[in-house]
């Protein structure tokens, strides 16, 4: 039976009917009973969230080291981002919202796009400026100073799940993109094979590495994100299933060796995470939409 949880108004359809999915890391994950959108019903206060993404909290500081394994991993992912963008666009003005250290923008610039970015982490934005000479502003999509309807492509890679009001951010993107322009996103997929198979254990174990609360405030599927975009002036064009890096989800070998429980969990579910994209049920996806 649907149950109302404190603060649990659905960001998409405004329903207050939801069902408990799990309590993970001290946070309550629910699904909207009306549209299926999953979200944290009791997110941290805005000031706490803002502090989480600054360098003082060690947010992604390993990405500021070009010699690190994390930097190399994200450089590979940036090339994957570009490959998906180039399925729909060959050039034009691109703004990357939540551009992190600028790796995607660097690749897009080399491919002939006119690029700029905005990034909430001041340290990451400064790294992108220093390392690649990119034009990067500080803030979120609501701090973008570009003229309305001036962008050919707006990208949000692994950002939409972090924001407090995805519907508002989608509408902000719509205002910035030219008619017929592109909105391209990536985000984890709660309906992927691994999340679906492991969800029943989330409540009894109090552990589910897929949602990552409080960092991820929302958990989308292709269906729920497509519905949000379509309801706010976009036409969905295509998607691509993929997988989150297994080491990111389950831990590196050294981490697993220190915890038999984590090792057992990885042995049970890592094969499903690997298999998911091969059968159209990856735990991460890209989605491309055109402004109507």
Q: Looking at residue 78, which CATH number applies to its domain?
A: 3.40.50.150
Going from the C-alpha of 108 to that of each of 140, 227, 267, the distances in angstroms are: 20, 28, 37
Domain-located, residue 5 = no
With respect to residue 217, please indicate whether it lies within any of the assigned structural domains: yes
> Mean pLDDT across the chain, nearest whole number?
92
18-22, 59-63, 123-127, 217-221: least confidently modelled range: 59-63
Residue 18 lies in a domain: no
Greater model confidence, 4 or 179: 179
Of 61-70, 77-86, 159-168, 175-184, minimum mean pLDDT range: 61-70
- Asked whether residue 165 carries a pLDDT value surpassing 60, the answer given is yes
- Please state, in angstroms and rounded to a whole number, the distance separating the CA atoms of residues 143 and 257: 44
248's CB contacts (< 8 A; 6+ apart) are 73
Q: Give the number of other Cβ atoms within 10 Å of residue 87's Cβ.
A: 13
pLDDT per residue over 220-279, tens digit each?
999 999 999 999 999 999 999 999 999 889 988 998 999 998 999 999 999 999 999 999
pLDDT of residue 72: 93
Residue 128 counted as domain residue: yes
DSSP string, 105-125: HHHHHHTT-EEEEEES-HHHH
pLDDT of residue 7: 60
Q: For the chain, what is the domain count?
A: 1
> Is residue 159 included in any domain, yes or no?
yes
Domain membership flag for residue 2: no
Domain coverage including residue 183: 42-291
Judge whether 15 lies within some domain.
no
In a domain, 152, yes or no: yes
């Amino acid at each position: 039976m649907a149950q109302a949880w404190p603060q649990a108004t659905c960001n998409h359809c405004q329903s207050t009917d939801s069902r408990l999915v799990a309590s993970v890391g001290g946070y309550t994950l629910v699904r909207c009973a009306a549209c299926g959108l999953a979200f944290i019903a009791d997110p941290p206060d805005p000031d706490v969230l803002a502090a989480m993404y600054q360098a003082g909290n060690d947010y992604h500081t390993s990405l500021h080291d070009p010699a690190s394994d994390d930097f190399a991993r994200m450089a590979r992912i940036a090339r994957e981002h570009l490959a998906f963008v180039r399925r729909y666009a060959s050039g034009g003005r691109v703004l990357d919202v939540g551009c992190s250290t600028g790796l995607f923008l660097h690749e897009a610039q080399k491919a002939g796009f006119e690029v700029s970015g905005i990034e909430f982490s001041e340290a990451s934005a400064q790294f992108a400026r220093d390392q690649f000479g990119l034009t990067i502003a500080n803030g979120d999509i609501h701090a973008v100073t570009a003229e309305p309807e001036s962008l050919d492509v707006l990208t949000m890679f692994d950002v939409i799940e972090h924001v407090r009001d995805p519907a508002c951010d989608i509408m902000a993107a719509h205002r910035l993109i030219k008619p017929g322009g592109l909105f391209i996103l990536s985000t984890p997929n709660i309906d992927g094979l691994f999340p679906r198979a492991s969800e029943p254990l989330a409540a009894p174990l109090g552990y589910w590495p897929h949602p990552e609360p409080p960092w991820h405030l929302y958990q989308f599927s292709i269906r729920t994100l497509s519905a949000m975009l379509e309801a706010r002036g976009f036409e969905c064009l295509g998607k691509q299933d993929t997988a989150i890096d297994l080491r990111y989800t389950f831990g590196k070998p050294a981490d697993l060796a220190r915890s038999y429980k984590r090792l057992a969990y990885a042995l049970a579910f890592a094969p499903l995470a690997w298999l998911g994209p091969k059968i159209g049920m990856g735990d991460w996806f890209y989605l491309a939409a055109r402004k109507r």
